[in-house]
Structure 1
Amino acid sequence: MEKLTCATAKKIDMVDYLISLGHLPQQVTNGSDYWYRSPLREELTASFKVNRKLNVYYDHGTGKGGDLIDFGKAYFGCTISELLGKLSTSSLQPFLYQPSINAGEKKENQESKIVIAESRVLSDAELLAYLNTRKIPLDIARQYCHEVDFLLYGKKQTAIGFRNNSGGYELRNEGFKGSSSPKDLTLITDKKTEALAVFEGFFDFLSFQLINRNKAAPLSNYLVLNSLSLLEKSRDLMEGYQHIHLFLDRDKAGVEATLKVLEWENGRRDKFIDYSNFYSGFQDLNDWLKSCKPEIRQSYKHGKSL
């Protein structure tokens, strides 16, 4: 397929594009202002606005905005050329905003939703290559993840799927980051220990499994939030454990979430312990793992642990 031009790409409707990435608006105001929890960072209150009439966005949390090209570069961390390549393989088409189409109403067209079609053992070559870029061994990924086929705008896609407690999936591949409904936490537990390790995303959880795979007495209770918006929901669950080990991100939202959880102690010293200093200088545990020299990663595979 011929690569899109910048001019054509900028005509792709940003609301539809965000849906294709798994992001739905929290509310619509003035008929054309769509508000989201920012896809570019974690936040609890929607402050990322897309004006559908102008087809531009503005992130009030960072004070930055722009068109679809600007957003795509920030979202994927890629060049314009790389982004145009991704968009060229998409089923999205240039779109002219028409306010007569009830812009304030949610689309109910089934083709605009993520629909899970099938899950199976991870084996797709492109997904295995993506796992390799994240430095996650296949045996660990297969223990906790599946290869998931899903429909998006009626087009079949395949991603690594991490299941949550309500049956929805966090979906990731090289060019896609999204989730199917319902969105929820993922709790993996056998209750054999009184400690619970808490992660923001599942690649951090998988990284932890690699780092601790040979530990003599590993933790066996894990909570993956899948989104900081579910932090408050996780509080009652955390209360059921004596010790909470926090491995949240080190960006602004992650640090704020960690501080919020630490305030839940209410005098119970050492119930909540922040372990993010282990990957100081990196956004999260997986970023730290990816930065490690091969010999350091090998040391964790063969005995060293966190």
Structure 2
Amino acid sequence: MEFRKKRLTIREAKEMDMVHCLSHLGFEPVKIIRNDHWYHSPLREERTPSFKINSALNRWYDHGIGKGGNLVDFGVLFWECSVADALVKLSGDFSFQQQRILPVRSGAEHLGKIKILDSFLLSSWPLQLYLQQRKIPSEIATRFCCEVRYEFSEKTWYGIGFKNDLGGCEIRSTYHKLSSSPKGITTIQNGAENVLVFEGFFDFLSFMVILPKDEFIDADYIVLNSLAFLKAIHPTLNSYKNVSLFLDNDDAGNNAVKLALKWGKQYEYESRLYEGYGDLNDWLINSPQAQKYQHSQITAGSPMSEKPPNVL
């Protein structure tokens, strides 16, 4: 499909809900008094909140620097860029979500309630920021993921989409952890004798961050997208010479590893790499030993770079 990049006009940007937009950027009010939302200034360091958004007027004012205005004015200062560049950065998630909604962080996966409306090249600034927080370089994410616009709970949202083999999609953002039907595994086949199995796609992306480029074609990859699929693909896994398991370091993941190790000697427990952390992505984000992997070693000449992003 042909990718389309979204662009906001100045008028559209000015009408966007500033409280909601700052929440997407990771800033929450310290206190709320009627229509006034008070923040520690996103534009500078301070201990006493002096940055105010009046939600009725949809305007901001920073008492520390004596400046204020609309969202475009804020974007120019926040990103230290031109108006045109600020509009590019603001394009995406914000324009379709005018009302602020509290994050869903329970980890529950919702099925049958998601309607995928469209898919794009992964480019929205809030999603790029989310990737940065999870230490995934954009060049790796865009190789395997796309940006999806979807309906959920009678609202329209944007998220990072990761397609499964059945046509369903895993969706992640700061606000949601969701799955569209049908639910299934994702396979990346290179005709190899070895396979690496990951519980979630952010663990797979994390592995792509730390993987030397010359080792990529030496294995096939399976992302379960749900631990429940491990037993179902047992016959497929048995066809490989070696099976490396990168599952979560929790009770469910540990029990699944114990089961798989009984299936044969070709099964290997790789979770020791990130022992003490919840999963591979948690290790990549928080481990001092993972700092050297923060920049991708996969160059544009690697085999996978020639494949298109995984769009719907």
TM-score, with structure 2 as normaliser: 0.58
1:246 & 1:288 partners in 2: Cα distance?
16
Q: How many residues align?
A: 196
Kindly indicate whether the alpha-carbon contact (under 8 Å) linking 1:121 and 1:142 is maintained by their aligned counterparts in 2. Answer: yes
Sort the Cα spacing of 1:184 and 1:274 in 2 relative to 1 into closer, same or farther, 3 A: same
What does residue 246 of structure 2 align with? 247
What does residue 144 of structure 1 align with? 144
What does residue 286 of structure 1 align with? 281
Give SS of 2:240's match: coil
AA of the residue aligned to 2:208: Q
- CA deviations on 1:133-176 (whole Å, 9 max, x unpaired) are 11001111011000001011331101000000000000000010
Summarize the alignment of residues 191-230 of structure 1 with structure 2, pairs less than 5 Å apart: 191=191, 193-216=192-215, 218-230=217-229
Kindly indicate whether the alpha-carbon contact (under 8 Å) linking 2:198 and 2:245 is maintained by their aligned counterparts in 1. Answer: yes
Superposition deviation, residue 263 in structure 1:
1.1
Sort the Cα spacing of 1:260 and 1:221 in 2 relative to 1 into closer, same or farther, 3 A: same
Superposition deviation, residue 297 in structure 1:
2.2
Kindly indicate whether the alpha-carbon contact (under 8 Å) linking 1:91 and 1:155 is maintained by their aligned counterparts in 2. Answer: no
Q: Percent identity?
A: 39
Runs of 5+ unmatched residues, structure 2: 1-16, 21-98, 105-111, 300-312
Sort the Cα spacing of 1:219 and 1:286 in 2 relative to 1 into closer, same or farther, 3 A: farther
Kindly indicate whether the alpha-carbon contact (under 8 Å) linking 1:150 and 1:156 is maintained by their aligned counterparts in 2. Answer: yes
Superposition deviation, residue 88 in structure 1:
5.0
AA of the residue aligned to 2:247: L
2:260 & 2:268 partners in 1: Cα distance?
10
- Runs of at least 4 residues off by over 4 Å: none
Sort the Cα spacing of 1:134 and 1:263 in 2 relative to 1 into closer, same or farther, 3 A: same
What does residue 277 of structure 1 align with? 272
Summarize the alignment of residues 89-128 of structure 1 with structure 2, pairs less than 5 Å apart: 89=101, 113-128=113-128
Runs of 5+ unmatched residues, structure 1: 4-86, 93-111
Superposition deviation, residue 228 in structure 1:
0.9
AA of the residue aligned to 1:256: N
Give SS of 1:264's match: coil
AA of the residue aligned to 1:113: K
What does residue 24 of structure 1 align with? none
Give SS of 1:135's match: coil
2:256 & 2:198 partners in 1: Cα distance?
11
Sort the Cα spacing of 1:123 and 1:217 in 2 relative to 1 into closer, same or farther, 3 A: closer
Alpha-carbon RMSD across the aligned residues, in angstroms, is 2.6
- CA deviations on 1:19-68 (whole Å, 9 max, x unpaired) are xxxxxxxxxxxxxxxxxxxxxxxxxxxxxxxxxxxxxxxxxxxxxxxxxx
AA of the residue aligned to 1:261: A
AA of the residue aligned to 1:156: T
